[in-house]
Amino acid sequence: MKPFGPAALVLLATLACCQADWVPFRTTGGTYHDIRIIYQGNVVQGTPLDNPDALANAAKDGARQCETYLGSRWQYVRTVNFDPQNGKYEWQHTCRICDRSLADAALMWFGTAPSCHGSCPTGWQTLTNGVTSTVLIDPWLKNGIDYYNTPEYGTRCSDLTPGKVLCALQGRPTSAQCSYTWRGTAPDCRDACEPGETLVAKDWYGGGARCMSGTYNKMLCERCQQEILDLSDCTTPTWFGTAPVCSGECYVGDRVMARAQSSSKVPSDQDPGGFGKPCWSGWKVRCHQCRVLGRSLLGSSNKRPTCSAPKAGRAWSGTPALVLKAVKAYAACCRECQDVSECRRFHVGPPGCALFVGAKADLRVVPASYGRAGGGGWQAGSVQAAP
């Protein structure tokens, strides 16, 4: 388990800057969060901040860049010179977002480099625009010359991508002592959160190699030492997983109540009803979703994205990010796309379920030689944000 790291350890942690440490972190100041940015075009300005005109220009530049690269909610705070060596003066702007709900929020950047298509999982609030390599996020110096992003942001995205986004998961006060663990080992990510843990995000990579089978996702699991959910206000518990090779996985936002391979091994405090046939491998999991203490009504902030109606005999053009050969039904393919925050489009056919990350593409008619075109053998759909 990896708890929140204090801000004071950011620089030390960056020495081993790798996505293995890709877990939620805290704000820099309770009800506000600061991000320092360097727009790489500023290097040509060569302007030290040693006179009033330079400071005035930096303030105008900072206000514009905070809004342009992070979003309209981000306010400009200050500018300092960064790496003023060899006549190279870059302006490092500090941008700030203020919101009382951030005081008990977990923050995390979503989007896998270099082809980042970041978006926030169900239940998370989006805090920034997509950020690419156009700007450096929270840079610091090594050997006086090199720029590094903090491990929270990770590897930079390519310019021609939607970028990474910063997301907030509210209702996680420091007193609850929540910690986070990625579960699932590539390539066969046949794993699930443990009983008592809450599934807060899914990702094909989870900070490491990509999943190619099993649940096809790694699970970011949350365990808190102090209860943060109202266990009296929950949805009806449901068993997930299909025998004989079970890859049971809850919806994002669900608390895992139990996992077992057969009804006879279901814990005595859990209802085995609806378990069905036993698993030869993997688990079935029993899950429900509960209201976060101090938050609004159940489900109001945890609405899942919806899938469009299937378009029979159609498939998306382009190369899919992932093909799930074992997934053959439209509803199942829809859920796989819903589960991954970066997925935007999908189609299903005899070869399996294909998931795509780009939002824009063309639908094409599937030739008859590719299997029952127009008869439901091929179906295409897209994922739409929750209302």
Q: pLDDT tens across 151-185, in order?
A: 889 888 888 888 999 999 999 999 999 999 999 99
Q: How confident is the model at residue 29 (pLDDT cuts 50, 70, 90)?
A: very high
* Pairing between β-strand 140-142 and β-strand 188-189 as defined by DSSP bridges: unpaired
**354-365 as b/e, with b when 16 or more CB fall inside 10 Å?**
bbbbbeeeeeee
Cis peptide before 173 (omega within 30 of 0): no
> How far is the C-alpha of 386 from the C-alpha of 381, rounded, in Å?
16
Residues 197, 201, 202, 208, Cα dihedral to 10°: -90
The residue with tokens 């159940």 is 298
pTM for the whole thing?
0.82
> How far is the C-alpha of 383 from the C-alpha of 60, rounded, in Å?
39
Among the listed residues 253, 240, 228, 353, the one whose alpha carbon sits nearest the alpha carbon of residue 286: 240
> How far is the C-alpha of 356 from the C-alpha of 84, rounded, in Å?
43
Count CB atoms within 10 A of the CB of residue 314.
19
Q: What is the mean pLDDT of residues 197-209?
A: 90
Q: 368 — alpha (psi -120 to 50), left (phi > 0) or beta?
A: alpha
* Pairing between β-strand 188-189 and β-strand 352-356 as defined by DSSP bridges: unpaired
| Lowest-confidence segment of 11-15, 70-74, 179-183, 355-359 by average pLDDT | 11-15
How is residue 201 written in tokens?
Answer: 């995000």
Q: Quick check: 375 pLDDT over 70? A: no
Q: Quick check: 15 pLDDT over 50? A: no
Among the listed residues 164, 309, 291, the one whose alpha carbon sits nearest the alpha carbon of residue 229: 291
- For residues 59 and 41, the model is more confident at 59
- For residues 77 and 145, the model is more confident at 77
- Return the amino acid letter for 222: E
Query: If DSSP codes are grouped into helix, strand and coil, which group holds residue 102?
Result: helix
- Please say whether the beta carbons of 105 and 170 come within 8 A: yes
- What was the pLDDT predicted at 9? 24
Classify burial at 8, counting beta carbons within 10 Å of its beta carbon; exposed 0-12, middle 13-18, buried 19 or more: exposed
Helices (H), 193-280: none
Query: If DSSP codes are grouped into helix, strand and coil, which group holds residue 91?
Result: strand
Mean pLDDT, all residues of the chain: 83
Rounded alpha-carbon distances, angstroms, from residue 245 to 218, 258, 261: 17, 18, 10
> How far is the C-alpha of 173 from the C-alpha of 77, rounded, in Å?
26
| Lowest-confidence segment of 71-80, 115-124, 196-205 by average pLDDT | 115-124
Domains of the chain with CATH codes: 2-169 (no CATH), 175-292 (no CATH), 306-384 (3.50.4.10)
Which residues are CB-contacts of 41 (< 8 A; sequence separation ≥ 6)?
none
